[in-house]
Amino acid sequence: MIDGDKYCGPFNDYLQYDLFNRSDVSQLNALQLHHSLNAVYFGDPLHESYAQDLWHAHHSKISPLRDNCVVGPDFWVDGKLPEGELIQVFEPQIEYELSLSFVTCTPIAQADYVFAPRSPEIRDELRKRENHWDA
């Protein structure tokens, strides 16, 4: 799933896009490797050496994935407190940068990048909760 407003390419008009570029396949496989917790699977024993080569090329750059989990009875859902506890989990970001032949975008210079939360209300609520849990 790709944000069609930010990324362009021949995939835009398709729900499925076939890859033929070996570099694209290897990069997507490497992304899967960076996201795996304990194992990587492949369907044919003939591909074992490929999987080992991929592992050797990336294992020193793989960071352990750590979820950020917040448990709290004071979350609101549709303006009301829910019954029981609500658990919110934030998936970690993977430290791997893709460069795919079929995806283009106009990069933003690091100096020009300004993080903007989707909703100021959600940002403020999250900060309030973080301060509450840190106290």
Measured CA to CA, the distance from residue 6 to residue 18 in angstroms comes to 21
Per-residue pLDDT of 70-101, as tens digits, reads: 776 566 777 777 777 777 777 667 778 888 99
117: pLDDT confidence band, cut at 50, 70 and 90? low
pLDDT category, 15, cuts 50, 70, 90? confident
What residues does 77 pair with on adjacent strands? 80
The answer to whether the predicted template modeling score (pTM) of the entire model surpasses 0.85 is no
Could you tell me the residue ranges of all domains in the chain? 10-104
Distance between CA atoms of 95 and 99, rounded to whole angstroms? 13
Tell me: the pLDDT tens digits for 37-52? 677 787 889 999 998 9
Q: Which residues pair with 88 in a beta bridge?
A: 70
